C-alpha cells in the first residue's frame, strides 16, 4: 500500500489538521508497536514511560510530519530515538556516579553539592537552562534540542556555552567534580 493511502498516515494527516478523534485512533492503533519496541530497545521496567515520551515527542513534532514515508515508520523512528536517548542518559548517569563515588569526598559536603547544582541550574535564564538540561543532562543532540525549542542550532550552542560558564562561576570550590562535568562540553 502506498504510504499516502496508508490508513495510519491518513489518520496522522487528519490529526495534523486538528482532528482529535483521528489522533486518538492513531495512538490506539500504534500503541502496541510502540510499547513492543520500547520494551525491547529500552527495558521492560521503563517501556511504559518510554512509550509515553515517544508520543509526547511525536505530538510536539506533529506539525513537521510531511508524509514522505509511512506514519508508522515516522513514529517508530521517534520511539527508537527515545529509547537510544534513554539508554545514553542511563549510561551517562552511571559513569558520573562511578566517577563521583571513586573520588574521595567529604561526606558532609555531598548533599550541599547536589543542592548547590540545583540552585545554580534554577538561577540560569530559562532559555539557557532549557538548552543546557536538554543537551547536557538529557543527552539530546544539539540539533534535536534546536528542533524541540524551535531555535537555530547556533542559538543552542551559545546558550549551552553561556550556561556552562555561568554554572562554573556559580559553583563553589568544594564542587570540583561537578565543575569538571559542567565545564566539559557534550555535543553529539
Q: For 116-137, write each residue's pLDDT tens digit.
A: 777 888 888 888 888 888 888 7
Q: Is the dihedral of CA 101, 104, 109, 112 positive or negative?
A: negative
Under 8 Å between Cβ of 178 and 113 = yes
Residue 107 has a pLDDT of: 44
Q: What is the pTM of this model?
A: 0.53
Q: For 53-100, write each residue's pLDDT tens digit.
A: 999 999 999 999 999 999 999 999 999 999 888 888 888 777 777 776
Residue 172 has a pLDDT of: 62
CA–CA gap between residue 111 and residue 168 (Å, rounded): 18
Residue 141 has pLDDT above 90, yes or no: no
Residue 29 has pLDDT above 70, yes or no: yes
Query: What letter does residue 149 receive in the DSSP assignment?
Result: H
Question: Cell numbers at residue 8, please?
Answer: 495510519
Residue 119 has a pLDDT of: 80
CA terminus-to-terminus distance, the chain: 36
Amino acid at each position: 500500500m502506498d504510504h499516502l493511502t496508508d490508513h495510519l498516515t491518513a489518520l496522522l494527516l487528519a490529526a495534523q489538521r486538528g482532528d482529535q478523534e483521528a489522533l486518538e485512533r492513531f495512538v490506539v492503533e500504534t500503541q502496541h508497536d510502540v510499547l513492543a519496541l520500547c520494551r525491547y530497545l529500552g527495558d521492560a521496567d521503563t517501556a511504559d514511560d518510554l512509550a509515553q515520551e515517544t508520543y509526547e515527542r511525536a505530538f510536539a513534532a506533529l506539525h513537521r510530519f510531511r508524509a514522505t514515508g509511512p506514519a508508522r515508520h515516522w513514529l517508530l523512528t521517534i520511539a527508537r530515538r527515545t529509547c537510544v536517548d534513554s539508554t545514553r542518559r542511563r549510561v551517562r548517569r552511571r559513569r558520573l556516579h562511578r566517577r563521583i563515588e571513586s573520588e574521595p569526598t567529604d561526606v558532609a559536603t555531598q548533599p550541599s553539592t547536589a543542592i548547590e547544582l540545583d540552585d545554580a541550574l534554577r538561577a540560569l535564564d530559562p532559555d539557557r537552562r532549557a538548552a543546557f538540561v536538554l543537551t547536557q543532562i538529557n543527552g539530546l543532540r544539539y540539533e534535536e534540542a534546536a528542533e524541540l525549542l524551535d531555535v537555530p542550532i547556533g542559538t543552542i550552542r551559545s546558550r549551552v556555552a553561556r550556561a556552562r560558564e555561568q554554572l562554573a562561576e556559580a559553583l563553589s570550590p568544594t564542587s570540583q567534580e561537578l565543575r569538571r562535568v559542567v565545564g566539559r562540553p557534550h555535543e553529539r
